[in-house]
Amino acid sequence: MKGPFDQDKPIYIQVRERIEDQILNHQLKEGDQAPSTNQLVQFYKINHVTVSNGVNPLVDEGILYKKRGIGMFVAEGAREKLIRKRKELFVEDYVVKLVHEAEKLGITENEIIQSIKNVKGRGAE
């Protein structure tokens, strides 16, 4: 778990994304117990309702499951579900916008690909 929240996004979404990130980064694996609502409330010093609004959709989507009286656990196949979901969101949030802007500016597909390669190459320095 990490510290302060970004002011540009609702906190409950950030709570959800942090749990998702822990699953994607293998910090939480299938069958592992996820932090409880109470632990998240105490760690982040935020309202119970805010935490529940972040966690409950993960339960609804089958990413986490609850064992009454014990806690929440990472469901089987959770990581794969999250990867699929995040890839779809990536295309919608980034690729679609990139393609539309490139079309407006007359940037070709090859120029886009070359730009991506250049940016990736800078990251390796």
pLDDT tens sequence across 44-100: 999 999 999 999 999 999 999 999 989 999 999 999 999 999 999 999 999 999 999
Domain shared by 20 and 70, yes or no:
yes
Q: Is residue 4 domain-resident? A: no
1 domain-assigned: no
Residue 45 within a domain: yes
Measure Cα distances from 35 to 43, 57, 61, 79, 84 in Å: 10, 15, 17, 17, 23
Residues 57 and 105 placed together within one structural domain of the fold = no
Are both 16 and 63 inside the same structural domain?
yes
Q: Where does the pLDDT of residue 24 fall: very low under 50, low under 70, confident under 90, or very high at 90 and above?
A: very high
Regarding whether 113 and 91 lie in a shared domain, the answer is yes
Structural domain count of the chain: 2
Which pLDDT score is estimated for 5? 87
Q: Is the pLDDT of residue 39 over 80?
A: yes
What average pLDDT score do residues 96-121 get? Answer: 95
Segments forming the whole domain that contains residue 94: 83-123
Q: Is the pTM of this model over 0.95?
A: no
